[in-house]
Structure 1
Amino acid sequence: MENKEKILIVEDEFIVANDLKMILKKGGYNVVGIASSAAQARTMIAAKKPDWVLLDIILKGSETGIDLAKELNGSKTPFLFISANTNQSTLEAVKKTQPYGFMVKPFREKDLLVMLDIARYRYALEHQVSAPLTDTNRQASAFNGIIGNSQSLKEILNRINIVAPTETSVLITGESGTGKERVAHAIHEHSDRKNKPIVVVNCAALPLSLVESELFGYEKGAFTGANSRKIGKFEQADGGTLFLDEIGELPLDAQVKLLRVLQEKEIERIGGEQTIKIDVRIVAATNRSLEREVAEGRFRLDLYYRLNVFPVELPPLRERKEDIPQLAMHFLQKFNAAANRDIKTFNPKVLEQMAQYNWPGNIRELEHLIERSTLLAFGDEISEINLPSNTAINILPSETGVLQSLEDMERNHIMQTLQACGGKVFGPGGAAEILKIPPTTLYSKMKKLGIQQEHY
């Protein structure tokens, strides 16, 4: 079935351009031409008025696809990038042009058509060609465990609605505690894979030596101690979704294998002699800047682009404070039931205190605070809440009037964070998570700085 949308291909390699043309025509698109330079593209855009432009970055002549993209942005012509020529500065320049998609060569025919489907849906949603979901309450109620009425949350839910029914990989970004795993579950629950498992892997918690055996499994006798066959996470998730949390922690060797799985849809168990076909959708999450990780050589650029077909960026709680009362009431009801309490509300003073606080631990910090407050409350309302007075680094002079050393500032900041977390060092809502460093690093710093339990 033809959708009759017109696409202009801007690509300087004839063979690649011709392959693209055949894929698009097979997918029902009307390819109105092929341009090999930005100048030729301008002429064809004026004459053919395409609905979409498919852009390579490196073109004939002195101008690049990025130069042309800036003009397309100005004229409101939607476009997508397809390129094999990328580096960190290119990546940053591409992001500034706000494309509707970016795909790395080589790619599968299906990947291109899925990217175009998503791009068209996003474009229609933004321009209200198709009716977007505008009732935020109705949206939130459809996603179990996602609470709030803010505009930023509404936009996240719209993006989930767009991507959930597709097969594309999703990259969820955001600070620790913003609800990335909850969003991953929502994507799975609203997909055609909902009756199959969603398997969660915390990449940060996997010891380096066990990453590949956990993900891909192993055969009996593959190494010392392998006394039986182990089925890896990919096989466990077959037919469903694999959620790779904190994917920025995945070592480079495992990234190479993950990229192969995304490309070939098959795995090999360690010690195995045959490939195993798998049908798994990848949803990944990170609290790191993967662009920075790519630039510093810790994350593969080609894997980044494979995962980043459809990014979902979660805002920190400090940017959606209007959701705090509803979130707080949700957690109050949850912990009322768990503790057999009947606390009905929050004192207005408490709500004001929560609105003024910046929540470095985000929703997870709010949840833990409500849990403690529920246990400590008297009567039928929460009238007091123990918020940290200040979690920022103290850069003012000390009591002696002398500026603190960098070591003293670090010691004070760690102790303030530990106090805010009730002394919890690692795990959800712990100091390591809020400080965004591995627990082993935090313990090492505490030992070096002489921070002992009695200090916090």
Structure 2
Amino acid sequence: MKEKILIVEDEFIVANDLKIMLQKAGYQVVGIASSVVQARKLIEDKKPEWILLDIMLKGDLTGIDLAWELREMHLPFLYISANTNQSTLEAVKATHPYGFMVKPFRERDLIVMLDIAKYRFNEENGSLGEVKIDSQIQEIEGIVGNSPLLKEVIEKIKIVAPAETSVLILGESGTGKERVAHSIHDLSEHSSNPIVIVNCAALPQSLIESELFGHEKGAFTGANSVRIGKFEQANNGTIFLDEIGELPLDSQVKLLRVLQEKEIQRLGGNKTIKINVRIVAATNRSLEKEVAEGRFRLDLYYRLNVFPIQLPTLKERKEDIEALANHFLKKYAASSKRNVNSISPNALAQLKKYDWPGNIRELEHLIERNVLLAKTTEIENFDLPSNTSAPFEVASTGKMKSMEEMEKEHIMNALQLCDGKVSGLGGAAEMLKMQPQTLYSKMKKLGIKQGYN
């Protein structure tokens, strides 16, 4: 049976175009309302299952006013609007829509957004089976484990990979965000074309625009030849913007324009270059907090957060530790040509008791190191840090320390132990089980000066 949709839009041409797109995709459009008053009557008479909602409507009430009523009725909705000023987007966010599309958009963007909105709604209401999306693939190469939390991630990857929509991967450092990005690319229509990896935290601020969009010869001092930027390199493929939360605000504006217009201009050039790039972004920060504190644009957040995938920590999926450990054992035994083929029950028990602050990356490095150190064909024991720690720390003022204060102190202690060395063998990044770029960005955020290396 066709799902019933009500369009609430005061521009007739836009509303009619929407109606044609939806009918072509198999939906039943039960009406078009140009005001909240008209929408209320159509909702009562036609009983739609979904509402497509513009913000600015005829009359005194806006789409946001109607959204609060829809929430009360448990009637799912998504916004379609050209209005992206900060205060409006804050009000939109407060209504918890199932999607937000910025005009203008392509027909396929609308249909994908509806599929994703339905997925979110069904997930929230415990009825995922109702989403009509092909899920033929049972396993994803490179993603190891069988825990319920991991199965949810795999299901989301299978749902979103064939679409063209942007994906935001969320999770702590070391949880496998880049691996998920590769999986999304490999299962997409772009898989025969390149995936280009960009670590936003590692880009020097003065070179971000040149790195992402390229430059023409003579664009600035030292630009002796044309440079093809990352977006052009990824044309017809995928670009993975890791640590997207590290981008400065002026670069966020330029990225937003690329997302909206599907075109770039090289630095120093006046030629517009059309691009077809699938964007996958990732962060270990809370972008909602970054938005609230003015460090991340809300309109860019909505553009990227079309389909979020939250990765669990390794501590949350300990039932996968044995499979992961054996996977890395096989990998590093082969690459190092070492005859190490098993992990003792005692050593596996050690792995399962540990809390893994560095997540999968920490486990991988541990297995790699112990494969090289093993004196027999079996790893018999792991030298792991103690999980025990004080339940909380108190500052000299007598007040409990904030998480930021504790993180800053922890990093400074590691730097002191490493004589100020950040990266490389014996550096603080290795001690803290994180990528050097991530540590550099945390140091910058926390105001920690780099004294050495």
Q: TM-score range by the shorter chain?
A: 0.7 to 0.9
- 5+ residue gaps, structure 1: none
Moved more, 113-122 or 180-189: 113-122
Q: How much has 1:240 moved relative to structure 2?
A: 0.6
- Counterparts in 2 of 1:133 and 1:111: CA distance versus 1, 3 Å: closer
Q: How much has 1:354 moved relative to structure 2?
A: 1.9
Question: 2: CA distance between counterparts of 1:323 and 1:39?
Answer: 53
> Could you say which residue in structure 2 is the equivalent of 1:70?
71
- Counterparts in 2 of 1:122 and 1:368: CA distance versus 1, 3 Å: same
Given residue 204 of structure 2, which amino acid in structure 1 is its aligned partner? P
Q: How much has 1:50 moved relative to structure 2?
A: 1.9
> Could you say which residue in structure 2 is the equivalent of 1:332?
329
Q: How does 1:286-365 map to 2 (within 5 A)?
A: 286-365=283-362
Please state if 1:438 is matched with 2:442. yes
- Counterparts in 2 of 1:78 and 1:336: CA distance versus 1, 3 Å: same
> Could you say which residue in structure 1 is the equivalent of 2:429?
426
- Counterparts in 2 of 1:102 and 1:113: CA distance versus 1, 3 Å: same
> Could you say which residue in structure 1 is the equivalent of 2:42?
44
**Counterpart of 2:129 in 1: which secondary structure?**
coil
Same amino acid, percent of matched pairs:
58
> Could you say which residue in structure 1 is the equivalent of 2:234?
237
Q: How much has 1:19 moved relative to structure 2?
A: 5.2
Q: How does 1:248-263 map to 2 (within 5 A)?
A: 248-263=245-260
How many residues are aligned here?
435
Question: 1: CA distance between counterparts of 2:33 and 2:236?
Answer: 40
Given residue 433 of structure 2, which amino acid in structure 1 is its aligned partner? G
Aligned counterpart for 1:385 among listed residues 379, 382, 387: 382
Given residue 385 of structure 1, which amino acid in structure 2 is its aligned partner? F
- Contact 1:38/1:68, CA 8 A, preserved across alignment: no
> Could you say which residue in structure 2 is the equivalent of 1:181?
178
- Contact 1:424/1:431, CA 8 A, preserved across alignment: no
Question: 2: CA distance between counterparts of 1:434 and 1:261?
Answer: 25
Please state if 1:94 is matched with 2:92. no
**Counterpart of 1:426 in 2: which secondary structure?**
helix
Question: 2: CA distance between counterparts of 1:134 and 1:110?
Answer: 19
Cα deviation, 1:165-200, whole Å, max 9, x if unaligned, reads 111111111111111111110011011111111111
Question: 2: CA distance between counterparts of 1:375 and 1:4?
Answer: 60
- Counterparts in 2 of 1:7 and 1:119: CA distance versus 1, 3 Å: same
Q: How much has 1:108 moved relative to structure 2?
A: 4.2
TM-score under structure 1 length normalisation: 0.82
Please state if 1:285 is matched with 2:282. yes
Q: How much has 1:234 moved relative to structure 2?
A: 0.9
Please state if 1:144 is matched with 2:141. yes
Given residue 175 of structure 1, which amino acid in structure 2 is its aligned partner? E
Question: 2: CA distance between counterparts of 1:119 and 1:358?
Answer: 35
Given residue 81 of structure 1, which amino acid in structure 2 is its aligned partner? Y
**Counterpart of 2:95 in 1: which secondary structure?**
helix
- Counterparts in 2 of 1:354 and 1:40: CA distance versus 1, 3 Å: farther
- Counterparts in 2 of 1:187 and 1:273: CA distance versus 1, 3 Å: same
Q: How much has 1:385 moved relative to structure 2?
A: 1.1
Given residue 93 of structure 1, which amino acid in structure 2 is its aligned partner? A
Q: How does 1:161-176 map to 2 (within 5 A)?
A: 161-176=158-173
Given residue 359 of structure 1, which amino acid in structure 2 is its aligned partner? W
Question: 2: CA distance between counterparts of 1:171 and 1:408?
Answer: 28
- Contact 1:216/1:268, CA 8 A, preserved across alignment: yes
**Counterpart of 2:253 in 1: which secondary structure?**
helix
> Could you say which residue in structure 2 is the equivalent of 1:9?
7
Q: How much has 1:353 moved relative to structure 2?
A: 2.4
Q: How much has 1:64 moved relative to structure 2?
A: 1.9
Question: 1: CA distance between counterparts of 2:277 and 2:36?
Answer: 39
Q: How much has 1:213 moved relative to structure 2?
A: 0.4
- Contact 1:58/1:64, CA 8 A, preserved across alignment: no
- Contact 2:341/2:378, CA 8 A, preserved across alignment: yes
- Contact 2:202/2:437, CA 8 A, preserved across alignment: no
RMSD, matched Cα: 3.7
Q: How much has 1:380 moved relative to structure 2?
A: 2.8
Cα deviation, 1:321-355, whole Å, max 9, x if unaligned, reads 11111111111111111222232322323222222
Q: How much has 1:57 moved relative to structure 2?
A: 5.4
Aligned counterpart for 1:200 among listed residues 184, 197, 201: 197
- Counterparts in 2 of 1:362 and 1:414: CA distance versus 1, 3 Å: farther
- 5+ residue gaps, structure 2: none
> Could you say which residue in structure 1 is the equivalent of 2:27?
29
> Could you say which residue in structure 1 is the equivalent of 2:413?
415
Q: How much has 1:157 moved relative to structure 2?
A: 0.9
- Contact 1:150/1:322, CA 8 A, preserved across alignment: yes
Question: 2: CA distance between counterparts of 1:131 and 1:19?
Answer: 24
Please state if 1:246 is matched with 2:247. no
Given residue 77 of structure 2, which amino acid in structure 1 is its aligned partner? F
- Contact 2:429/2:439, CA 8 A, preserved across alignment: no
